[in-house]
Amino acid sequence: MAAPRCPECGSASLVEDAHYAQQQLVCASCGCVLAEGLLTTTYTDEEHLREVAYSQSTGQKEQLSRCLQRGIRRVQDLCKVLQLPAAFEDTAVSYFQRALQLPAFHLCSLEKKEVLGGCCVLVTCREHNWPLSMGTVCSLLYARQELFASVFLSLQKELQLSVPALSLADLVTTHLSSFRLLQPSANIPAAFLEDRERLLGRTLGLVELSRQAWLVTGRHPLPVLTAAAFLAWQSLRPGPRLCCPLRRFCRLAGVELPPPAHLRLRELLEVLLAMASQLSWLRGFKLDKKTVVKHVGDLLQHRVFLLRKAFRELDGDEQDTAPGQGSPGQDPGCPSSLGTQAQGCPPAGKRPGGPLRLLLPPCLLHPRKRLRAPAPSAVALTGDEPISDSEIEQYLRGPEELQAFRKAKGWL
């Protein structure tokens, strides 16, 4: 930067001088004041075109407690790591400041305060429909899931927030972008590489199918996502990929394999197999869990129709009980052979593939609890029945027992 000159006398000899406490840039020859250090901390800062933050120059930070400062810094770091838009940072910091003032969080442990910062970031992301799962935040903060859960719920209650639900479709998009199978790499065979858009489209279709088949409600979202992504990837090029198990797929993709993913995969394959039994051009084949993967594309394309045909609804309007009526609202994309088949659909027992199963959540199809019949109460109690002495005495220790017990306790 060229040496500044005094506007009045043109001299180049400028000195930085302090007039009382105020920094001033003064010309040595004529005494003209060029600049006063009001808005910047030092002239050198401004000279080097470095922006001096308002918070630094006005002592705003000193008004905040050190704990709050540290917490705000953590929240800001978290936002930067997650590459969130700038607006999210301010919202998250404001939530954090509000929360920390409340008695519930003011005196809690440092660990909890850090988790609170993570919760504020999560709430901000949810409100802007930015898909961020709790698992991700927990792993970034090295926080325990139970602690995170309790802090999140109490934050919701204290600040009276209604946090929108996690959008599964958006989560698919962000989760898939972290998959390493989308770019060429040394340890990934060429046959395993996949185009991002194709994988995304098919995974979204499978996730939507899972949602309709009650596989998503009440369950962790990530295992379903992982299973759907795996099936989608396999189905896009079944030949070389069918032999690759789920564990290896996750290792190659560089993502964690959540334990329930195997179960979700099995459930999803069952649904696909049931649907495949209704596809006329597949009836001839005896499909199993491996071979049905090849036809996932077709199954997804006619998903709406197949779901209705392959499963019974819980309500009375089951199509198989009314063979006279045609299946209403058929998928217009399906070939005409399917249409005639549907109109003449046989009752449940004679349907190829055995009797239809109900489209229900797996917890209803395979109830694990042995449901106890309600204990019948023979007599109407009033609560004031007489209590016999013998009944009470059965709960009291006799003298011999007392002695024996005392002796036994003495040994302990």
Partner 1 sequence: SSFKDDFSTSPHLFTPMSPYDVELPIQTAEDGVFASQLSQSKELHTDFSSVDLSFLPDITQDNKEQNLSEDGHGTQKELDGSLPSNEDSGVSTDESSLSHPGTAQPSPEAPDDCPPLTPMTPVTPPTSAESSGIVPQLQNIVSTVNLACKLDLKNIALHARNAEYNPKRFAAVIMRIREPRTTALIFSSGKMVCTGAKSEEQSRLAARKYARVVQKLGFPAKFLDFKIQNMVGSCDVRFPIRLEGLVLTHQQFSSYEPELFPGLVYRMVKPRIVLLIFVSGKVVLTGAKDRSEIYEAFENIYPILRGFRKPS
Q: How far is CA 369 from CA 38, 77, 363, 365, in A?
A: 74, 46, 10, 12
Kindly state the DSSP code that residue 294 receives in the 8-state scheme.
G
Closest contact distance (angstroms) between CB of 134 and partner 1 is 5
What one-character DSSP code corresponds to residue 26?
Answer: E
Q: How far is the CB of 169 from partner 1 (least distance, A)?
A: 12
CB of 264 to partner 1, least distance (A): 13
112 binds partner 1 (CB under 8 A): no
Q: Which stretch binds partner 1 (CB under 8 A): 34-42, 184-192, 230-238, 308-316?
A: 308-316
By beta-carbon proximity to partner 1, the closer residue of 385 and 400 is 385
- Residue 70 half-sphere exposure, CB side, CA atoms within 13 Å? 8
The CB-side HSE value for 320 (13 A sphere, CA atoms) comes to 20
Pick between residue 14 and residue 137 the one whose CB is nearest to partner 1. 137
For 22, phi and psi rounded to 5 degrees? -100, 130
| Residue 197 binding partner 1, by CB under 8 A | no
Report DSSP letters for 214-239, one per residue: TSSTTS-HHHHHHHHHHHHHHHHSHH
Contact flag: residue 313 with partner 1 (CB under 8 A):
yes
Please report, as residue ranges, which positions from 346 to 375 form the binding site for partner 1 (by CB under 8 A): 358-361, 363-364, 367, 370-375
- Stretch of 55-63, 214-222, 280-288, 322-330 contacting partner 1, by CB under 8 A: 214-222
Tell me the backbone φ, ψ of residue 198, rounded to 5 degrees.
-65, -45
Applying CB under 8 A, does 169 fall inside the site for partner 1?
A: no
Q: What strands, in cross-sheet order, belong to the sheet with 33-36?
A: 14-19, 22-27, 33-36
376 binds partner 1 (CB under 8 A): yes
Among 95, 105, 192, 214, binds partner 1 (CB under 8 A): 214
53 binds partner 1 (CB under 8 A): no
How far apart CA 182 and CA 217 sit, in angstroms, is 29
State yes or no: residue 71 binds partner 1 (CB under 8 A). no
Task: For residue 314, state whether it binds partner 1 (rule: CB under 8 A).
Answer: yes
Is residue 408 a contact point for partner 1 (CB under 8 A)? no
* Least Å from the CB of residue 139 to partner 1: 13
Among 184, 218, 239, 259, which residue interacts with partner 1 (rule: CB under 8 A)? 218
Number of residues binding to partner 1, judged by CB under 8 A: 61
The single residue listed with the structure tokens 């036809």 is 295
Determine if 316 is a binding residue for partner 1 (CB under 8 A).
yes
Strand partners, 311: 357
- Rounded to a whole number of angstroms, the minimum distance from the CB of residue 360 to partner 1 is 6
Amino acid identity, residue 338? Answer: L
Residues in the chain: 412
Spatial neighbors of 362 by CB under 8 A, at least 6 apart, are 214, 215, 267
Sign of CA dihedral 293, 298, 304, 307: negative
Residues that bind partner 1 (CB under 8 A): 133-135, 149, 152-153, 156, 162-166, 211-212, 214, 216-221, 312-316, 358-361, 363-364, 367, 370-377, 379-385, 387, 389, 391-397, 401-402, 405-406
